[in-house]
Amino acid sequence: MNESEQLLGRAVLQLWPELKRDVQEQIFEAASVDPEVRRRLAVLLHDQHPRTAFPPQPRSLA
């Protein structure tokens, strides 16, 4: 990982709580290249930003 990628990653982590949920999900999916990376990333985000531990999305009433 080069310095520019590290700086961008730090910026995303700083702004994470302010991002809309759909944007968070898109970033998470793009960064989750394999199951182990996905697990470690989820732990990191939940440890640093407990507000990202969203309740389940409401299901359709229809």
- Please report, for the chain, the start and end positions of each structural domain, with discontinuous segments joined by +: 3-50
pLDDT at 51 over 90: no
Cβ-based burial of 11 (10 A; exposed 0-12, middle 13-18, buried ≥19):
exposed
Predicted confidence (pLDDT) at residue 62 exceeds the cutoff of 80: no
pTM reported for the whole predicted model: 0.70
For the residues 33-62, what does the mean pLDDT come to? Answer: 76
With bands split at pLDDT 50, 70 and 90, how would you rate the model's confidence at 49?
confident
Q: So what's the pLDDT on residue 19?
A: 93
Q: What is the mean pLDDT of residues 36-50?
A: 87
